[in-house]
């Protein structure tokens, strides 16, 4: 009787799972973009929530195959995987093994792409910890820019996090403008066509570019995005960048009307 009861319970559980799977499919049903013949579909409740909160990549071209594969491979155990990776990251940090820490944080970013601390920590690690392992200032500059590019990648996953945009401005202005190698870094930054694209040469100053990112983060807050930092501190860095820009021009030997306009 006991064996029959156990078997019956298993059958009941399996039967009960069928409608639950149907409910899950209905809640997580993916949306469909509109076309010429069809108006499109909003998708399930969970899909709509992810789109509303910016937790999904809307277009196929924005998907990160590696990140999506890891999400599927963990079979719902992303929390456990993240905990293990954080333990490894802390261990590498304690041992000052910066390159293994970098690799672990890359994995964490794919497991938890919407956890902004991963992106901020990795940018700091690449720009400060890894860069100092090299003697040549050109190699150091490359690692600083790797950190900044990594942070910019995090913004694509977290489009409503002004602090990440603010951080880009901070790393560009502070790390490039104030480091021991700031003269070499500022020159390399001005010559970095890969980063600047079509930006005119006079506007490629690290302080001006940092100011642009600070202003963009302020605009995001003005549009309704939230930030935990106090408004006075958060909005103080853009005008400081302008002041440092004007001061740096004079220190580098630029005077006259150009320097005068920079103080305005």
pLDDT of residue 13: 82
- Rounded mean pLDDT of the chain? 81
pLDDT of residue 176: 94
Q: Which residues contact 49 (CB under 8 A, 6 or more apart)?
A: 55
Tell me if 74 is assigned to some domain.
no
CA–CA separation, 238 vs 211, rounded Å? 5
Residues 25 and 139 occupy one common structural domain:
no
Mean pLDDT of 125-134: 88
Tell me if 93 is assigned to some domain.
no
Q: Are 141 and 180 in contact (CB under 8 A)?
A: no
Residues 230 and 144 occupy one common structural domain:
yes
Q: Are 22 and 14 in contact (CB under 8 A)?
A: no
Tell me if 36 is assigned to some domain.
no
Residues 141 and 242 occupy one common structural domain:
yes
Tell me if 221 is assigned to some domain.
yes
Per-residue pLDDT at 161 exceeds 90: yes
Residues 201 and 118 occupy one common structural domain:
yes
Tell me if 77 is assigned to some domain.
no
- pTM exceeds 0.85 for this model: no
Residues 135 and 253 occupy one common structural domain:
yes
Closest CA to 111 of 149, 151, 66, 50: 66
Mean pLDDT of 205-214: 95
DSSP codes joined into one string, 101-141? HHHHHHHHHHH-TT-HHHHHHHHHIIIIIIGGG-SSHHHHH
Q: Are 186 and 201 in contact (CB under 8 A)?
A: no
Closest CA to 248 of 199, 185, 193: 185
Handedness of CA 150, 156, 158, 164 (dihedral sign): positive
Residues 51 and 132 occupy one common structural domain:
no
pLDDT, tens digit, for every residue of 238-260? Answer: 999 999 988 888 887 777 777 77
**Cα maximum dimension of the chain:** 99
* Intra-chain end-to-end CA distance of the chain, in Å: 89
Tell me if 75 is assigned to some domain.
no
Residues 247 and 135 occupy one common structural domain:
yes
Q: Are 217 and 166 in contact (CB under 8 A)?
A: yes
Tell me if 142 is assigned to some domain.
yes
Residues 123 and 253 occupy one common structural domain:
yes
Tell me if 82 is assigned to some domain.
no
pLDDT of residue 7: 79
pLDDT, tens digit, for every residue of 81-98? Answer: 788 888 888 888 888 888
CA–CA separation, 56 vs 76, rounded Å? 17
Q: How many domains does the chain have?
A: 2
Residues 247 and 120 occupy one common structural domain:
yes
Distances (CA, A) of 216 to 169, 192, 205, 236, 260: 9, 21, 17, 13, 25
Residues 249 and 151 occupy one common structural domain:
yes
The whole-angstrom distance between residue 113's C-alpha and the CA centroid of its chain comes to 8
Domain that holds residue 1: 1-31+43-56
CA–CA separation, 237 vs 167, rounded Å? 11
pLDDT, tens digit, for every residue of 184-208? Answer: 999 999 999 999 999 998 899 999 9
């Amino acid at each position: 009787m006991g064996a029959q009861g156990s078997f019956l319970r298993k059958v009941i559980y399996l039967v009960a799972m069928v409608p639950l799977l149907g409910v899950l499919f209905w809640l997580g049903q993916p949306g469909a973009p509109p076309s010429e013949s069809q108006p499109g579909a909003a998708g399930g409740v969970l899909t709509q929530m992810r789109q509303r909160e910016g937790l999904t990549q809307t277009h196929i071209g924005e998907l990160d195959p590696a990140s999506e594969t890891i999400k599927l491979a963990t079979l719902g155990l992303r929390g456990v995987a993240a905990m293990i990776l954080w333990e490894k990251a802390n261990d590498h940090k304690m041992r000052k093994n910066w390159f293994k820490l970098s690799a672990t944080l890359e994995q964490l970013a794919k497991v938890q792409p919407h956890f902004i601390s991963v992106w901020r920590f990795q940018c700091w690690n690449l720009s400060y910890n890894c860069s100092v392992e090299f003697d040549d200032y050109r190699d150091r500059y490359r690692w600083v820019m790797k950190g900044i590019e990594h942070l910019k990648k995090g913004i694509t996953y977290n489009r409503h996090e002004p602090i990440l945009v603010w951080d880009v401005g901070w790393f560009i202005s502070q790390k490039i403008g104030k480091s021991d190698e700031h003269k070499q870094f500022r020159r390399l930054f001005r010559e970095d066509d890969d980063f600047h694209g079509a930006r005119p040469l006079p506007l490629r100053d690290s302080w001006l570019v940092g100011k642009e990112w600070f202003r963009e983060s302020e605009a995001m807050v003005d549009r309704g995005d939230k930030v935990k930092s106090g408004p006075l501190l958060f909005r103080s860095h853009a005008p400081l960048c302008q002041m440092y820009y004007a001061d740096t021009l004079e220190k580098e030997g630029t005077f006259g009307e150009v320097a005068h306009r920079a103080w305005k």
